[in-house]
Amino acid sequence: MARMGQRRHMKRIAAPKQWAIPRKTATWTVKPRPGPHPVEECIPLLILVRDVLKYATVSREAKKIITQGQVKVDGRVRKDHKFPVGLMDVIEVPIMGEAYRVLPSKRGFTLVPIEGEEVSFKLCQIKNILTVKGGNVQLTLHDGRNILLPIDNPKVSPYEVYPYKTRDTVKISLEDQEILDHIPYSEGAYAIVVGGKLRGEKGEIVEIRRRLGRRASTTVIQKGDGVRFETVMDYVFPVGAPTPLIKLPSDGGT
């Protein structure tokens, strides 16, 4: 008989490389549930609590912390130890008085401590722009959330009403999901690389080279020391213009 659905278990040896877990101490690990981030671009909440933040030493302790509602992701209490945590998510542990933002690094992900206003917002990259029923515009963001933008005249192009384009970044209020700021994907913006061999590198976008073909277009970024590098356009995530709106890994991470 054919297997029904996907497996609910995952072997440690097959886990994505960005998971900070030992591979040979045990056979199995927790598999993230379907959610805002794909498996290859997320880390289960249990592994984050136990292996990254080290609030627990075994799974049972980590599950207890999570099910008691001690951890927030993007301002919401998450009690599912399999919940997928990914890029730009804001992690809060109120009982410890700590908060972090998930950012890319060469090893996968890093947690950068944040405080104050930074805990109240999130940067999201626009992955798609759709016209929905009634002529309104829907922004689909990298973490799966959708933002609906009203248009009074459906005959008018959404690009004439709103400045947003795919690959641009929007600053989102975690409390009410309102757009607070807009960072165009353009020369002069400050960006961080979120994929490929240069993952975690950052700097100013100095040139965008558009070509025909999938992943043919590239972006040239200049680092703080003046060194330039080129990477796939889809791997670049603007985080501010001309300076970053968030604290970056160079300022300290976990």
- Conformation bin of residue 169: beta by default, left when phi > 0, alpha when psi is -120 to 50: beta
Q: Which of 71, 95, 117 is the last residue of a domain?
A: 117
pLDDT reported for residue 244: 97
In the structure, what pLDDT confidence band is assigned to residue 253 with cuts at 50, 70 and 90?
very low
List the CATH number of the domain containing 35.
3.10.290.10
Same domain, 111 and 30: yes
Average the pLDDT over 163-176 and give the result. 96
Quote the CA–CA distance of 186 and 233 in Å, as a whole number.
11
What is the predicted pLDDT for the residue at 68? 97
CB 248 within 8 A of CB 202: yes
**What are 108-154's pLDDT values in tens digits?**
899 999 999 999 999 999 999 998 887 789 999 999 999 999 888 77
Domain count, the chain: 3
37 and 128 fall within a common domain: no
- Residue 251: pLDDT over 60: no
Q: What is the CATH number of the domain that holds 227?
A: 2.30.30.30
- Decide if 249 is inside a domain: no
Q: What is the chain's alpha carbon radius of gyration, rounded to the nearest angstrom?
A: 19
Burial readout 78-101 (b: 16 or more C-beta within 10 A, e: otherwise): bebbbbbbbbbbbbbbeeeebbbb
Overall average pLDDT of the 164-186 stretch: 97
Q: What pLDDT is attached to residue 4?
A: 53
By the 8 A CB rule, do 201 and 193 touch?
A: yes
Q: Is residue 245 one of the residues assigned to a domain? A: no
